[in-house]
A and B are shown apart, each in its own frame.
Chain A
Amino acid sequence: MRLSPDPSITTAALPARRQVNFGMMHPETRTKPEGGAPPSADEVIFDVVDLSVRYGGFTAVRDVALQINRRQITAMIGPSGCGKSTVLRCFNRMNDLIEIARVDGRILFHGVDLYDPAVDPVEVRRRIGMVFQKPNPFPKSIYDNVAFGPKVAGTRDKAELDDIVEQSLQKAALWDEVKDRIDDNAYGLSGGQQQRLCIARALAVDPEVLLMDEPCSALDPIATARIEDLMQQIKDEYTIVIVTHNMQQAARVSDRTAFFVTEVNEESDRRTGVLVEYDHTDVIFSNPSDERTEQYVTGRFG
């Protein structure tokens, strides 16, 4: 199995080449604009309106309203149990997998309500990818891990798959480390490498958005740093939403930050997550409006 051995391929050189290959895959599903008109920095792709999520009788998070901007990194921070991951999972309909989950409100993706009954979650998840807290590569070869997504989406041509695999691994800054053992089992990789593999795998289906649910919490600091660098590199092409426990990480990588907290319901004594403040990251961390935000970011609680 031969991948193109062209050493001149760098991440920067990829976009132009990639347009051609991925376009062949599913011209009707490409969501990126033709040509190269740069989108405005404030273009909104997700519009969350009155979002509440219940698990059975328990309200995990309520009345969330925010907007996610294109090709930016948005962080969601807050103490444990405040519903950040729950909100994140709404963006790609992964909450559907939890039987007792009920989602109220709307999430508009480019104006389309993701929870419209006519919308197929499978298609949503191809456009909006996700990386999880614990790396979960398939017990298959590195190649098969990355090629799986494009394969089920319809790409059959071997040469095309080879290209996609290589480019995705390049983007995930993993190619150089694995190019000689691409058919080895993915379980042989280190934790940090596995997580980068999961990122490559997610990128291989050409999503517009990448959701990351505490992607570094299972990794050591060096692996964490590599992933944070990676995020900055791919930010030009993908919109990233990251949930993190690590405040400093949010401060380092994100453009905007949303701060959540739990509120205790007086009568039922149950905790529900709420969005406290959402603003540019530098504002959140240096000059927040809400007192709770200030207490959290200065370390006085949480």
Chain B
Amino acid sequence: MAVTTVAGVGDVSLARRGHDVKGRLFHLLVVLSVVLAFVILAALVWDMIAGGESVLTERLWSFLTSGLNSDPELAGVWQGVKGTLQLSIIVVAVAFPLGIGSAIYIEEYASDSRLTRFISVNIRNLAGVPSIVFGLLGLAIFVQALGGVTGGRTVIAGGLTLSALVLPIVIITSQEALRAVPSGIRVGALALGATRWETTRHHVLPAALPGILTGNVLALARAAGEAAPLLLVGAVSGVFFVGAQGTLEQILHGRFTAMPMVIFSWARLPAGQGWNVLAAAASLVLLVLIFVMNGFAIWLRNRYEQRW
């Protein structure tokens, strides 16, 4: 380990220094950074509240339950909420099991071979790929190549695309949760004559579950805020669409939208006609949704975290 020399510290006099100017300045700068971060957050929230206030106070219910409409007085986020919910269900159904299963394989079953290391490196790289590239994946594969199965530009294609996006995050957080379980527990169970699966199922997985769930909910919150992949996969970004109603079949095979897309559409429309108010209000709805999810994840962690 290289030794960092502590040369040049200079403040060696024992006399109490009245004005440690440089030190005070640095402290100030550092505190300022944190304060600025908060100010930005506060400004953003305040701007959304101020911007969307009229809609939220005057017609909150109709705003939440109406669909897209060319008339800003009538438009609402309902289709966006619905779409985000549908997408979330698909992500939970697809990405969670695949991600947790992968994590279990890597942590509990796989030997330290080149293949295993390759899988880990691959996951880490995938985690850093920009979300719009996943949109391209969705377009080429889920919409186009698998169009017969997914129905083309449907919520299923969108959900699968988002699942691919969050899969690496789910795997990495689940891995960390599994690793936190002390090895003594595994060793103890195996020494009693349990198989690897029995050990994982009865002891490791239950112990790691709070951490796994926390990570998964955070990943879901991330998926809920994504727009770029959905843009490419064909989520509606227009002003008005009938939306798929009716049977489940029709819903799954029609066009779809989601909260971030709704905000995207409204944000680009001329502010004078009142679209900016709607965009701000919709932003607030989405922010609330995401904050609730994050809060839930943190609550999960604090309540059920095992201290070994």
Interface residues of A (CB under 8 A from B): 92, 94, 97, 99, 122-127, 129-130, 132, 134, 136-139, 148-149, 152-153, 198, 201-202, 205
Contact segment of B11-19, B95-103, B180-188, B254-262: B180-188
Q: Are B193 and A125 in contact (CB under 8 A)?
A: yes
Kindly provide the distance from the CB of A243 to the nearest chain B CB, expressed in whole angstroms: 14
Q: Are B185 and A149 in contact (CB under 8 A)?
A: no
25 contacts between A and B (CB under 8 A): A94-B187, A97-B187, A99-B112, A122-B193, A124-B193, A126-B192, A129-B192, A130-B191, A132-B191, A136-B184, A136-B187, A138-B185, A138-B188, A139-B185, A139-B207, A148-B194, A149-B193, A152-B192, A152-B195, A152-B202, A153-B193, A201-B188, A201-B192, A202-B191, A205-B193
CB neighbours of A139 from chain B (8 A) = 185, 207, 306
Q: Are A125 and B184 in contact (CB under 8 A)?
A: no
Minimal Cβ-Cβ distance residue in A for B194: A152
CB neighbours of A127 from chain B (8 A) = 193
Minimal Cβ-Cβ distance residue in A for B192: A149
Q: Are B187 and A132 in contact (CB under 8 A)?
A: yes
Kindly provide the distance from the CB of B223 to the nearest chain A CB, expressed in whole angstroms: 31
Minimal Cβ-Cβ distance residue in A for B202: A148
- A202→B192 CA distance, assembly (Å): 6
CB neighbours of A136 from chain B (8 A) = 182, 184-185, 187-188
Q: Are A125 and B190 in contact (CB under 8 A)?
A: yes
B198 within 8 A of A: yes
Given contacts A136-B187, A139-B185, A201-B188, 18 further A-B contacts (CB under 8 A): A94-B187, A94-B190, A122-B194, A125-B193, A130-B191, A136-B182, A136-B184, A136-B185, A138-B185, A138-B188, A139-B306, A148-B189, A148-B194, A149-B192, A149-B193, A152-B192, A152-B193, A202-B192
- A223→B130 CA distance, assembly (Å): 58
Q: Are B185 and A125 in contact (CB under 8 A)?
A: no
Contact flags B280-299 to A (C-beta < 8 A → 1, else 0): 00000000000000000000
> Which residues of B (179-233) have their CB < 8 Å from a CB of A?
182, 184-185, 187-195, 198, 202-203, 207
Kindly provide the distance from the CB of A291 to the nearest chain B CB, expressed in whole angstroms: 37
With A132-B184, A138-B185 given, is the CB distance from A148 to B192 under 8 Å? yes
Interface of B is mostly: helix
With A138-B203, A139-B207 given, is the CB distance from A122 to B185 under 8 Å? no
CB neighbours of A198 from chain B (8 A) = 188
Q: Are A149 and B194 in contact (CB under 8 A)?
A: yes
Most B C-beta atoms less than 10 A away, residue of A97, A123, A124, A134: A97
Interface residues of B (CB under 8 A from A): 111-112, 182, 184-185, 187-195, 198, 202-203, 207, 306
Kindly provide the distance from the CB of B253 to the nearest chain A CB, expressed in whole angstroms: 46
Q: Compute the total of residue contacts between A and B using a CB distance below 8 Å.
A: 63
With A139-B207, A148-B202 given, is the CB distance from A122 to B195 under 8 Å? yes
Q: Are A125 and B192 in contact (CB under 8 A)?
A: yes
Minimal Cβ-Cβ distance residue in B for A134: B184
- A137→B187 CA distance, assembly (Å): 10
- A139→B188 CA distance, assembly (Å): 12
- A191→B297 CA distance, assembly (Å): 34
With A99-B112, A148-B202 given, is the CB distance from A205 to B190 under 8 Å? no
Minimal Cβ-Cβ distance residue in B for A137: B188
Pairs A-B, 5 closest by C-beta atoms: A126-B193, A136-B184, A149-B192, A130-B191, A125-B193
Kindly provide the distance from the CB of A201 to the nearest chain B CB, expressed in whole angstroms: 7
Q: Are B111 and A99 in contact (CB under 8 A)?
A: yes
Minimal Cβ-Cβ distance residue in A for B199: A152
Q: Are B112 and A129 in contact (CB under 8 A)?
A: no
CB neighbours of A130 from chain B (8 A) = 191
- A148→B190 CA distance, assembly (Å): 11
Q: Are B184 and A97 in contact (CB under 8 A)?
A: no
CB neighbours of B184 from chain A (8 A) = 132, 134, 136
- A148→B198 CA distance, assembly (Å): 10
With A99-B112, A125-B193, A139-B306 given, is the CB distance from A152 to B188 under 8 Å? no
Minimal Cβ-Cβ distance residue in A for B201: A152
Minimal Cβ-Cβ distance residue in A for B196: A122
Kindly provide the distance from the CB of A272 to the nearest chain B CB, expressed in whole angstroms: 24
Q: Are B111 and A125 in contact (CB under 8 A)?
A: no
Most A C-beta atoms less than 10 A away, residue of B184, B185, B188: B188
CB neighbours of B111 from chain A (8 A) = 99
Kindly provide the distance from the CB of A130 to the nearest chain B CB, expressed in whole angstroms: 4
- A198→B189 CA distance, assembly (Å): 11
Kindly provide the distance from the CB of B110 to the nearest chain A CB, expressed in whole angstroms: 10
- A139→B185 CA distance, assembly (Å): 9
With A99-B112, A152-B198 given, is the CB distance from A132 to B193 under 8 Å? no
- A138→B306 CA distance, assembly (Å): 12
- A228→B195 CA distance, assembly (Å): 31
Q: Are B112 and A94 in contact (CB under 8 A)?
A: no
CB neighbours of B188 from chain A (8 A) = 132, 136-138, 198, 201
CB neighbours of B202 from chain A (8 A) = 148, 152
